[in-house]
């Protein structure tokens, strides 16, 4: 995606010459004594000080940026000692590292500075990526780890996010950007972080400085379910906005960016390339249904061209048809070329993952438009172009319920260009993710070993956890996985049969994944005198519990709306009835702004021969503020409470 982001460095004034000496090149350790505030004395660890500095230097040849990180952390627990025995270096050893220092200050004041000999290497077995770290021995409670890193790095002009809040409390922190006075930067802070202050001529007549300072930043929680820490933490964004030397203003804006992206995705093609595309299209099944036609295109491209982000051997995107490999840019060009030839109206959508990068619709930065979708306004659906595990209308839920830059084609004076507009990306219809469970427990043939028949249907995002597996694993492994799925409902009881339907990614977003299981229920049955106790609640599968001792800090943000419909039928043996049908009567609701946002309702109806249980659980909203958290928690925990239900079959 980075190739789509065209940063206009030509807007810089390279003829201006400044010294290559940056202001913090001689930065070293600070022996100022820092005490832990009494309010933080029981924390596992505390960041006493965190200083970040960046300086942009422009000379006649290029633009350079230098970066400083200075951090002091006090160790307050055995857990923190274990975590900090290794201090990983935030760079590769072959990068331009100018300063790399680390020292440990013990409680008695002894200072030990580590050397290069203390730097070790480890390799991630899964990714084969090398990591380097300082190996620290002799840590104790009350010790301070102090580190200083200075790097030369690529300039950050089109948009950068800096977080100043972490899972440990921060006593003091600051960020400073030093830059030539002819460059103007725009900043925006979030969630109570102070705004940046500009000091003109902060380091002589030719350098300005932007600075943010904050103190006593509380830690972010680490164990809250469905919490968007990224969006709710204290952070800021900044970007280059103007250049007084050239008169340029409003740099890195979406108007110019949209035009550049459109041009990049629609290169001119010659006759030979057009012939390749037309031949490729002939292999795609045609459909009068637009959704089905787009799905056929998506399936064709994703099954004949492998996405390889590092592949650069295609001289033109049409060569991907022959090489069967393409980087993201070439794949996007292939999609747009096919859409064009088939007269399918589409828009390119650039966005971010909402649980990783906050998209501010009112602050134009290019760091938040780094993920790509296609939008089809005629059917109001989205396609994720390079992800093998999704099919229209489903896409990574991180992109939904989030803003995006929608780039559509416009024609002016015979010339076609891209015009952008920031709009909300809607998650596919909430009812798309609707799970259905039908369970029949038959005591009529064998009172002490009932036969249980469960049918589970997963649609939408629920199906993504199951439906795509078959296409990516061998048959014997898939059989094992299906058995594991069934165990969630059978509690590993003796199975009679397991059947699945609509396996495979070709069904994703179109047909529900179905698992049909029959098994003997004797392991769920206990005798108590003449009565039979049957653990019926576990048959809906293990459910999440939300019982947290500490007060919730962050509001709930769910991944997507979700609906469940469950029906349970107990066929009773002659002469028996259910003694406690009322245990199924569970009802909880949560409202947001006065509107029904989520709920659980289960009830039972008994006849002479059966007990019919119905349950509806739903989460219409994705946002649940702290003011309704207790109600939300009751709805979530209702499923876990249902798991514990045991019915009593007693003789009439």
- Residue linked to tokens 């008695």: 108
3-state SS class at 162: strand
Q: Is residue 546 part of a domain?
A: yes
Give the residue-averaged pLDDT of 275-282: 94
List beta partners, residue 100. 149
Stated pTM of the model: 0.91
Tell me: do 330 and 465 sit in the same domain. no
CATH number of the domain within which 260 lies: 3.10.620
Confidence tier at 230 by pLDDT (50, 70, 90)? very high
Tell me: do 480 and 563 sit in the same domain. yes
Q: Are 98 and 152 in contact (CB under 8 A)?
A: yes
Query: 16 pLDDT exceeds 50?
Result: no
Tell me: do 122 and 239 sit in the same domain. yes
Q: Does a cis peptide bond (omega within 30 degrees of 0) precede residue 393?
A: yes
Tell me: do 514 and 560 sit in the same domain. yes
What does the alpha-carbon distance between residue 456 and residue 541 come to, in Å, rounded to a whole number? Answer: 10
Confidence tier at 441 by pLDDT (50, 70, 90)? very high
Query: 122 pLDDT exceeds 60?
Result: yes
- Please classify residue 286 by burial: count the beta carbons closer than 10 Å to its beta carbon, then call 0-12 exposed, 13-18 middle and 19+ buried: exposed
Give the residue-averaged pLDDT of 187-193: 97
Last residue of a domain, one of 195, 224, 243: 243
> Using H for helix, E for strand and C for coil, what is the string for 162-211?
EECCCCCCEEEEEEEEEEECCEEEEEEEECCCCCCEEECCECECCEEEEE
Q: Is residue 202 part of a domain?
A: yes
Give the residue-averaged pLDDT of 621-646: 94
Residue 5's pLDDT is 47
Of residues 228 and 16, more confidently modeled? 228
Q: Is residue 42 part of a domain?
A: yes
Note the Cα 647 to chain centre separation in Å.
41
pLDDT tens digit string along 80-109? 999 898 888 876 655 688 899 999 999 999
What does the alpha-carbon distance between residue 402 and residue 301 come to, in Å, rounded to a whole number? Answer: 27
What does the alpha-carbon distance between residue 268 and residue 647 come to, in Å, rounded to a whole number? Answer: 70
Give the residue-averaged pLDDT of 203-224: 93
Q: Is residue 285 part of a domain?
A: yes
What does the alpha-carbon distance between residue 310 and residue 328 come to, in Å, rounded to a whole number? Answer: 9
What does the alpha-carbon distance between residue 106 and residue 109 come to, in Å, rounded to a whole number? Answer: 5
Residue 238's pLDDT is 97
Number of domains the chain contains = 3
What does the alpha-carbon distance between residue 619 and residue 258 come to, in Å, rounded to a whole number? Answer: 36
Query: 216 pLDDT exceeds 60?
Result: yes
Query: 1 pLDDT exceeds 80?
Result: no
Give the residue-averaged pLDDT of 525-543: 91
What does the alpha-carbon distance between residue 250 and residue 240 come to, in Å, rounded to a whole number? Answer: 8
Query: 612 pLDDT exceeds 80?
Result: yes
Count other C-beta atoms under 10 Å from residue 578's C-beta: 21
Tell me: do 196 and 52 sit in the same domain. yes
Report in angstroms the alpha-carbon separations of 563 from 23, 459, 461, 546, 620.
58, 10, 11, 18, 8
Pair of tokens at residue 631: 């109600």
Give the residue-averaged pLDDT of 443-470: 92
Of residues 21 and 532, more confidently modeled? 532
Q: Is residue 249 part of a domain?
A: no
Tell me: do 77 and 134 sit in the same domain. yes
Tell me: do 101 and 130 sit in the same domain. yes
pLDDT tens digit string along 55-71? 999 877 788 899 999 99
Count other C-beta atoms under 10 Å from residue 50's C-beta: 20
Of 24, 76, 21, 26, residue with least CA distance to 47? 76
Residue 430's pLDDT is 57
Query: 153 pLDDT exceeds 60?
Result: yes
Tell me: do 26 and 78 sit in the same domain. yes
Tell me: do 402 and 445 sit in the same domain. no
Q: Is residue 248 part of a domain?
A: no
Name the least confident of 5-19, 246-260, 357-371, 418-432.
Answer: 5-19
Query: 260 pLDDT exceeds 70?
Result: yes
Pair of tokens at residue 448: 């002490």
Print the domain residue range for 544: 430-651
CATH number of the domain within which 455 lies: 2.60.120.1130
Last residue of a domain, one of 365, 395, 425: 425
Last residue of a domain, one of 425, 448, 466: 425
Give the residue-averaged pLDDT of 359-364: 96
Confidence tier at 591 by pLDDT (50, 70, 90)? very high
What does the alpha-carbon distance between residue 454 and residue 459 come to, in Å, rounded to a whole number? Answer: 16
Residue 18's pLDDT is 43
Confidence tier at 115 by pLDDT (50, 70, 90)? confident
CATH number of the domain within which 49 lies: 2.60.40.3140
Give the residue-averaged pLDDT of 116-122: 85
Of residues 2 and 515, more confidently modeled? 515
Tell me: do 546 and 437 sit in the same domain. yes
What's the mean per-residue pLDDT of the chain?
Answer: 91
What does the alpha-carbon distance between residue 7 and residue 160 come to, in Å, rounded to a whole number? Answer: 13
3-state SS class at 527: strand
Query: Does residue 619 come out as left (phi exceeding 0), alpha (psi in the -120 to 50 range) or beta?
Result: beta
Give the residue-averaged pLDDT of 200-226: 93
Query: 485 pLDDT exceeds 60?
Result: yes
Query: 366 pLDDT exceeds 60?
Result: yes
Residue 211's pLDDT is 98
Tell me: do 390 and 494 sit in the same domain. no
Q: Is residue 623 part of a domain?
A: yes
pLDDT tens digit string along 33-56? 888 888 998 899 999 999 999 999
Q: Is residue 377 part of a domain?
A: yes
For helices 290-304 and 328-341, what crossing angle results, to 10°?
140
Name the least confident of 65-69, 413-417, 536-540.
Answer: 413-417
Q: Are 98 and 65 in contact (CB under 8 A)?
A: no
Tell me: do 87 and 175 sit in the same domain. yes
Pair of tokens at residue 311: 């592949």
Confidence tier at 638 by pLDDT (50, 70, 90)? very high
DSSP notation for 17-70: ---S--TTTT--------PPPGGGTTSSEEEEEEEEEEEEEE-SS-EEEEEEEE
């Amino acid at each position: 995606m980075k190739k789509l982001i065209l940063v206009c460095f030509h807007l810089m004034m390279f003829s201006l010459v400044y010294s290559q000496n940056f202001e913090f090149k001689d930065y070293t350790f600070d022996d100022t004594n820092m005490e832990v505030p009494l309010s933080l004395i029981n924390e596992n660890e505390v960041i006493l000080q965190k200083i970040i500095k960046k300086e942009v230097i422009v000379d006649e040849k290029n633009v350079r940026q230098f970066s400083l990180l200075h951090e002091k952390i006090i160790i307050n627990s055995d857990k923190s000692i274990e975590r900090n025995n290794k201090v990983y270096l935030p760079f590769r050893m072959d990068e331009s590292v100018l300063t790399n220092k680390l020292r440990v200050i013990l409680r008695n004041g002894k200072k030990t500075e580590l050397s290069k000999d203390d730097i070790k290497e480890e390799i991630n077995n899964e990714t084969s990526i090398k990591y380097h770290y300082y190996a620290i021995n002799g840590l104790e409670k009350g010790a301070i780890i102090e580190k200083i890193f200075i790097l030369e790095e690529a300039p950050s002009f089109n948009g950068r996010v800096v977080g100043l809040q972490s899972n440990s409390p921060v006593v003091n922190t600051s960020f400073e950007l030093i830059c030539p006075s002819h460059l103007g930067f725009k900043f925006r802070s979030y969630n109570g972080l102070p705004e940046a202050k500009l000091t003109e001529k902060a380091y002589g007549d030719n350098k300005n400085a932007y600075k943010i300072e904050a103190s006593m930043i509380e830690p972010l929680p680490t164990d809250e379910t469905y919490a968007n820490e990224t969006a709710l933490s204290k952070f800021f964004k900044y970007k280059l906005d103007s250049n007084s030397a050239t008169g340029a203003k409003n740099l890195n804006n979406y108007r110019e960016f949209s035009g550049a992206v459109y041009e990049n995705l629609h290169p001119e093609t010659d006759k030979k390339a057009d012939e390749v595309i037309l031949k490729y299209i002939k292999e795609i099944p045609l459909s009068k249904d637009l959704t089905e036609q787009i799905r056929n295109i998506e399936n064709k491209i994703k099954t004949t061209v492998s996405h390889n982000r590092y592949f650069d051997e295609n001289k033109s995107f049409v060569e991907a048809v022959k090489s069967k490999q393409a980087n993201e840019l070439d794949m996007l060009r292939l999609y747009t070329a096919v859409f064009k030839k088939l007269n399918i109206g589409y828009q390119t959508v650039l966005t971010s993952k909402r649980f990783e990068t906050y998209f501010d619709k009112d602050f134009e930065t290019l760091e938040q438009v780094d993920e790509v979708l296609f939008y089809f306004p005629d059917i109001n659906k989205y396609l994720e172009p390079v992800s093998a595990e999704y099919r229209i209308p489903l896409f990574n839920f991180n992109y939904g319920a989030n803003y995006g830059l929608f780039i559509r084609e416009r024609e002016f004076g015979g010339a076609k260009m891209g015009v952008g507009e920031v709009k909300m990306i809607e998650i596919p219809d909430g009812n798309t993710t609707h799970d259905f469970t039908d369970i029949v427990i038959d005591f009529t043939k064998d009172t002490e070993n009932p036969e249980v028949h469960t049918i589970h249907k997963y649609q939408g995002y629920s199906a993504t956890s199951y439906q795509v597996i078959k296409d990516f694993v061998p048959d014997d492994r898939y059989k094992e996985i299906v058995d594991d799925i069934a165990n969630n409902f059978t509690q590993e009881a003796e199975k009679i049969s397991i059947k699945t339907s609509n396996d495979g990614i070709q069904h994703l977003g179109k047909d529900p994944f179905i698992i049909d299981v029959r098994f003997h229920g004797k392991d769920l049955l206990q005798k108590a005198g003449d009565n039979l106790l049957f653990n019926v609640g576990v048959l809906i599968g293990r459910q999440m519990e939300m019982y947290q001792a500490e007060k919730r800090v962050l509001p709930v943000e769910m991944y997507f709306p979700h609906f469940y419909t469950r029906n349970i039928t107990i066929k009773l043996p002659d002469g028996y009835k259910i003694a406690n049908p009322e245990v199924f009567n569970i009802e909880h609701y949560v409202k947001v702004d006065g509107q029904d946002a989520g709920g659980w309702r289960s009830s039972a109806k008994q006849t002479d021969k059966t007990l019919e249980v119905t349950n509806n659980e739903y989460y219409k909203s994705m946002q649940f503020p702290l003011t309704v958290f207790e109600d939300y928690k009751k709805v979530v925990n209702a499923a876990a409470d249902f798991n514990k239900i045991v019915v009593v079959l007693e003789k009439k």
